[in-house]
Structure 1
Amino acid sequence: MSAVEDRLAVMDVVARLAHAQDDRDWDALRELFADEVRLDLSGQSGAAPVDLTADGLVDKARSVLEGFDALHHAASLPLVEVDGDRATCRVHVVAYHHVPTDGVDFCTMRGRWELGLTRGSGRWLVHRWAVVRTAPWEGSPDVYRIAADRRTT
């Protein structure tokens, strides 16, 4: 692949990452990740980074996202750097989450995704996903818990 083709392929992964979450398309989400993934939410919620299987990461996403009535992840044009079969990508994201509740029923997170990718079998796969919040929450981050509780009840 040429440098331009590599950059476009990584950009496609970013777009698919946003769409798969919003569409709750768990098979499409799984296809974006290497078998082992480092998930780092320390810059969003303070949670320590964890190493997960791709299936475990999809289960984690499903456990929260299926509880929302509406999701919308909007991403900027990614900044992509490619070095052989490895790439990094930084993209600004605005993520809106809505769940009906008597109080504040939404949360908007403004920040960025920092992705590490490797090329395998002719395609780019995410092996590191960091979510970094760069602005105060708008709405209530409690909707994440409410959404997760809705899914388990």
Structure 2
Amino acid sequence: MTALPELSDRLAIADVVAGLAHAQDDQDWVAFRRLFAERVTLDLSTHYHGRPPATVTADDLVELARTTLAGFDCTHHAATDLLVRQAGDEATCRAHMVAYHHVPAEPGVVDHCTMRGRWDLKLRKLDGRWLIEHWTVVRTAPWEGSPDVYALAAARVAPRT
């Protein structure tokens, strides 16, 4: 009779993935933080500027996400086609990802960027909750628009001197 607990875990993992997309778009940093273990490996090596993987605290990850997304007028992260593999209290989840980002820009400047790729997540069940321990963002297609919108967004929230 293990089918029901396995199904329950798969649904909980799907809720984590959906929660990750919604928390970013809603800029709900409390909800975002609840999705992660205390320490998280973040791998953006194929996404933006080829940053190598780094292990950070969940609070530092929240701050990175907050400062990255704060300057955008809107974002839309759509995660689909979840492929979940579970073994006990450990799981992986691969989700197709389309992420749209928009920032106001001067006429003639590209004001949006769409990334197509996937999220590769490693999760662990701790105290009855599935938490992300490893988050890889893999860009699998060329940018649509311009990744320069990240710099435009950052400039909107940079401290003025």
TM-score, scaled to structure 2: 0.93
Aligned-partner Cα distance in 1 for 2:54–2:105: 30
CA deviations 1:84-142 (Å, max 9, x no partner) are 00000000010000000120000000000000000001010000000000000000001
Structure 2 unaligned regions, length at least 5: none
The one-letter amino acid paired with 1:128 is H
Structure 2 counterpart of 1:22 = 25
Structure 2 counterpart of 1:121 = 127
Q: What SS is found at the alignment partner of 1:42? A: coil
Contact 1:99 1:147 in 2 (8 A): yes
Aligned-partner Cα distance in 1 for 2:12–2:134: 17
Structure 2 counterpart of 1:88 = 92
The one-letter amino acid paired with 2:93 is C
Does the alignment pair 1:34 with 2:37?
A: yes
Structure 1 segments, 4+ long, off by >3 Å, are none
TM-score, scaled to structure 1: 0.98
Structure 1 counterpart of 2:78 = 74
Q: Percent identity?
A: 61
How many residues get paired? 153
Structure 2 counterpart of 1:57 = 61
Q: Kindly state the Cα deviation for residue 149 of structure 1 after the two structures are TM-superposed.
A: 1.7
Contact 1:38 1:52 in 2 (8 A): yes
Q: Kindly state the Cα deviation for residue 76 of structure 1 after the two structures are TM-superposed.
A: 0.6
RMSD of Structure 2 on Structure 1 (CA): 0.9
The one-letter amino acid paired with 2:157 is R
Structure 1 unaligned regions, length at least 5: none
Structure 1 counterpart of 2:52 = 48
CA deviations 1:60-100 (Å, max 9, x no partner) are 00011011001000111310001000000000010000000
